[in-house]
Amino acid sequence: MDSQNSGINIFMNTVGGKWKCLILFFLSQKSMRTKEFYERIPAITQKVLTDQLKQLERDGIVRREVFKEVPPKVEYSLTELGRSFVPVLNTMCEWGNTYAVGRDIDREEQICCNHK
């Protein structure tokens, strides 16, 4: 078996990395503009956010919509394929919350899981 084509490698190449799952998690709540990502993920740089969004768009998971306004408005949302990833995000969120409780890790808040 070619390990490069295994499901886990395909998964990690598509949504792995430091920020992609968090970007997708926030998009599972609502469509967002670039500014909103910076408010929710203050540690992310402009270059990294732009690169991650372009990769997710290229892979068919995120849709970029440009509104013809002055100034131009750009909004990101999940595609149908992206929405199919929401149950995975919910499972990851639940696991993280359970892990934090079991390990007595301080959290600013309980992140609500089970987005649609």
Q: What is the pLDDT of residues 48-104, one digit of tens each?
A: 999 999 999 999 999 999 998 888 899 999 999 999 999 999 888 888 888 888 888
- DSSP alpha helix (H) spans, the chain: 7-15, 20-27, 34-40, 46-58, 80-83, 86-102
Mean pLDDT along residues 21-31: 94
pLDDT given at position 5: 76
Helix, strand or coil, per DSSP, at residue 58: helix
